[in-house]
A = this chain, B = another copy of it.
Amino acid sequence: SVNPDLGSERQTASFSVERLTALLDGGTEQTRIRRAVVEAIESDPVFSRENQYFQTQNERYEAAVRKAVHLQKKMHEMGWTENGPEYKYIYRALSGDVAFLLHRVFMRSISVLGSDRQIAKWIPLATQHKLIGSYAQTELGHGTYLQGLETTAVFDTATQEFILNTPKISAMKWWPGDMGRSATHTVVFAQLYIHGKCYGIHPFIVQIRSLQDHSLCPGITAGDIGPKMNFEHIDNGYLLLKNVRVPRENMLSKFCEVQPDGTYVRQGSQKINYFTMTSVRISLISDEVLTPLMKACTIAIRYSVVRRQSKLKPGEQEAKILDYQTQQEKLLPQLAAAYAFHFTNGYLQELFDRGYREIQRKNFDMLPELHALSSGFKAVITQHCTAGVEICLRACGGHGYSLLSGLPSLYTKILASCIYEGENTILLLQTARFLIKCFMAASAGQPVPPSVTYLAAVKHGKCPAKNKLDFLSPDIYTEAYQHVAVRLTSSAAAKLQDLIQSGVEKHDAWNQCTVQLVQAAKAHCHYIAVKNFAETMEKLETKAGIQKIMKHLCDLFALHGIFSNTGAFLHDGYTSAAQMDMVTAAYLDLLAVIRKDAVPLVDAFDFTDESLNSALGSYDGQVYQRLYEWAQKSPTNQMSPAYERYLKPLLHNTLSKL
């Protein structure tokens, strides 16, 4: 039975939840397929996530391996294939709690970097799971800056082998997933040496464990890097190589080959490598970043209409905490951001698909723009969504802090997305470098890619809004965002030039501008996200209240961004103080409007209770019962040796005294 405090929230939805779900999925057929996958996975006890919050790292790893192996069987049974329409829903349905994800990266790297012969040899073996692959790039002392990697691969013409070594401790491979305990093979990135000359970083297929008994191969030291904030189910590993020999054929050689006599031959274009990074950064947004935020919103908002605390009006019943303005101001902007970035993701996907088609025609022109946008948005979206999940957690008070709420694990997981696949600050600086370049070009009248043409059209006007309702006009706020992005980019560019002209060396000047360059990159992405949300919203069907509610969310997303960063808009007087007060008023008014649809808006994300795995967020809102039931199952409610060992001796002579 549904908690009436939650049930009543669903009575008054201003729009069709089912239609909104279909919009998010990309059509009713997609919704149907997704639900079928979810149903198949969740009805299978092997995939159960029950007791997950009670498991040790070892237990989590074992469960993830069990699920990964079972998944092969399940896919076969269900007729799901890697190219089928179901595939993309499987990982989401498993909530990511499955092993061998790096096996896929192993395969992808061979497909992209390997010769036809290498692909023909390794891909079938990998597909049939006759080996378990990993991907060994990052080292203890080296992450982002690939050229700094220290692992060496020396070509030995005599034996036609590469000899791989870890010359010092900072060169030890560190972090690769699936490598700590599972993998039999890995792709090792190492500095290639031929006849004493270094040719830079190249990838080598290396067997690390016996296929017979899983023991480590000669010269290999490997293991698990130990506990992390999350990802307990993944065996992130370390790897130390001592004179490990692999045949010449094991260097992935689509782009570079070492011939038997040691001649180094470079062939084809390596630009495609950037494209791979771009593809990974875009593809992680949906499952790794948006899903956790959507789940956190679902949990926190459902809880906030069930939890009653204190009184709004004396003499009345205690109020639902979502009726407090401060609670709305915490949660509803996160909800708006989840929708906004869902549409941003669509925009990036579309751009990526277009880029992919161009590249197949050997046209690489779109690469710089794609790289800049995927880097910037990876950083901005992960950062924004991570902060959002933390806000949701804290907005649930003590119960949010319990693992049983599901929120701590969402937070500790999404936090990692700020770090992996490019540290965010570095990514934003790559976007900034692109912006500065385009700004210079645009200023000089040269053509620039579509997403940055606005940099050429600097307007020095003022925001034309006359009252708070004007700030519910997408033109008004989109223009304001654009103005800020141009101003921050141009002022960073000006500072950079001033420094260089005053004699500061180029790289020092760049470093002295980086704090402001990061601001410019963020403003650029924020502007595009707002603009894209507004444009997407305007094209939506007006039926079933969908466009209306999306308009409210778009407004909220935009106004929240201004309200939280007023200085950027006030700085040069584009927005006046009086207009900023209108923004505040319009923003606070919107909170009360969207609050009414808050529950239907999270219902539309369509998460099952199983996938939320939250005592606070379930569809029926029976929060307290569930917390109590789940707590009783905790291993901390088993008998502890602490009593016999420590408490009994302490208490043994009390009885006589009481």
Contact of A404 among B226, B394, B642 (CB under 8 A): B226
Contact of A140 among B505, B573, B628 (CB under 8 A): B628
CB-CB under 8 A from A647, the residues of chain B are: 65, 69, 132, 182, 214
Q: Is A416 an interface residue (CB 8 A)?
A: yes
CB-CB under 8 A from A53, the residues of chain B are: 226-227
Q: Is A478 an interface residue (CB 8 A)?
A: no
Q: Is the CB of B632 within 8 A of A227?
A: no
Number of residues in A with C-beta < 8 Å to the partner?
133
Contact of A515 among B54, B170, B588, B642 (CB under 8 A): B588
Q: Is A56 an interface residue (CB 8 A)?
A: yes
Nearest CB on B from A22, distance (A): 34
CB-CB under 8 A from A354, the residues of chain B are: none
Q: Is the CB of A640 within 8 A of B140?
A: no
Q: Is the CB of A636 within 8 A of B65?
A: no
Contact of A640 among B62, B313, B649 (CB under 8 A): B62
Bound together, the chains give a CA A571 to CA B566 distance in angstroms of 8
Q: Is the CB of A394 within 8 A of B420?
A: no
CB-CB under 8 A from A658, the residues of chain B are: 125, 130-131, 211
Q: Which residue of B lies closest to A72 (CB)?
A: B650
CB-CB under 8 A from A415, the residues of chain B are: 394, 401
Bound together, the chains give a CA A143 to CA B396 distance in angstroms of 11
Bound together, the chains give a CA A279 to CA B474 distance in angstroms of 50
Q: Is the CB of B627 within 8 A of A65?
A: no
Q: Is the CB of B634 within 8 A of A66?
A: no
Nearest CB on B from A72, distance (A): 8
CB-CB under 8 A from A426, the residues of chain B are: 310
CB-CB under 8 A from A43, the residues of chain B are: none
Q: Is A267 an interface residue (CB 8 A)?
A: no
Q: Is A195 an interface residue (CB 8 A)?
A: no
Bound together, the chains give a CA A148 to CA B170 distance in angstroms of 57
Q: Which residue of B lies closest to A636 (CB)?
A: B224
Given the known interface contacts A226-B54, A318-B145, the answer about A211 and B401 at a Cβ–Cβ threshold of 8 Å is no
CB-CB under 8 A from A235, the residues of chain B are: 636
Q: Is A144 an interface residue (CB 8 A)?
A: yes
Given the known interface contacts A640-B61, A655-B211, the answer about A226 and B169 at a Cβ–Cβ threshold of 8 Å is no
Q: Is A324 an interface residue (CB 8 A)?
A: yes
Given the known interface contacts A57-B635, A145-B318, A238-B631, the answer about A646 and B66 at a Cβ–Cβ threshold of 8 Å is yes
Nearest CB on B from A146, distance (A): 10
Contact of A184 among B404, B567, B651 (CB under 8 A): B651
CB-CB under 8 A from A402, the residues of chain B are: 225-229
Q: Is A467 an interface residue (CB 8 A)?
A: no
Q: Is the CB of B326 within 8 A of A646?
A: no
Task: Give A125-148 interface residues, CB cut-off 8 Å to B.
Answer: 125, 129-132, 138, 140-145, 148
Q: Is the CB of B634 within 8 A of A224?
A: yes
CB-CB under 8 A from A184, the residues of chain B are: 651
Bound together, the chains give a CA A184 to CA B648 distance in angstroms of 11
Q: Is A259 an interface residue (CB 8 A)?
A: no
Q: Is the CB of B398 within 8 A of A175?
A: yes
Contact of A148 among B181, B318, B625, B631 (CB under 8 A): B318
Q: Is A572 an interface residue (CB 8 A)?
A: yes
CB-CB under 8 A from A325, the residues of chain B are: 511-515
Given the known interface contacts A309-B144, A325-B514, A651-B131, the answer about A401 and B423 at a Cβ–Cβ threshold of 8 Å is no
Contact of A636 among B58, B148, B330 (CB under 8 A): B58
Q: Which residue of B lies closest to A491 (CB)?
A: B581
Question: What per-residue 1/0 map shows which CB atoms of A513-545 lie under 8 Å from chain B?
Answer: 111101000000000000000000000000000
Contact of A229 among B130, B401, B655 (CB under 8 A): B401
Q: Is A654 an interface residue (CB 8 A)?
A: yes
CB-CB under 8 A from A404, the residues of chain B are: 226-227
Bound together, the chains give a CA A223 to CA B636 distance in angstroms of 8
Contact of A403 among B69, B212, B228, B401 (CB under 8 A): B228
Q: Is the CB of A312 within 8 A of B138?
A: no
Q: Is the CB of A226 within 8 A of B401?
A: no
Given the known interface contacts A636-B61, A651-B131, the answer about A170 and B624 at a Cβ–Cβ threshold of 8 Å is yes
Q: Which residue of B lies closest to A653 (CB)?
A: B130
* Interface core residue of A66, A418, A511 (most chain B CB under 10 Å): A511
CB-CB under 8 A from A423, the residues of chain B are: 397
Q: Which residue of B lies closest to A229 (CB)?
A: B408
Q: Is the CB of B226 within 8 A of A636?
A: yes
Bound together, the chains give a CA A640 to CA B641 distance in angstroms of 25
Q: Is A172 an interface residue (CB 8 A)?
A: yes
Contact of A143 among B224, B398, B584 (CB under 8 A): B398
Q: Is A419 an interface residue (CB 8 A)?
A: yes
CB-CB under 8 A from A455, the residues of chain B are: none
Q: Is the CB of B588 within 8 A of A577?
A: no
Q: Which residue of B lies closest to A330 (CB)?
A: B425
Q: Is A657 an interface residue (CB 8 A)?
A: yes
Bound together, the chains give a CA A565 to CA B564 distance in angstroms of 9
Q: Is A180 an interface residue (CB 8 A)?
A: yes
Bound together, the chains give a CA A208 to CA B201 distance in angstroms of 66
Q: Is A630 an interface residue (CB 8 A)?
A: yes
Bound together, the chains give a CA A214 to CA B655 distance in angstroms of 12
- 20 CB < 8 A contacts A-B: A56-B56, A58-B638, A61-B636, A62-B641, A68-B646, A125-B657, A181-B636, A181-B642, A182-B647, A223-B637, A225-B627, A226-B633, A226-B636, A227-B634, A312-B507, A325-B511, A394-B415, A401-B415, A401-B419, A567-B567
Extra inter-chain contacts (14) besides given A172-B628, A567-B569, CB under 8 Å = A58-B635, A65-B646, A130-B653, A130-B658, A138-B398, A141-B308, A182-B647, A227-B402, A229-B402, A390-B390, A401-B415, A566-B566, A566-B568, A570-B571
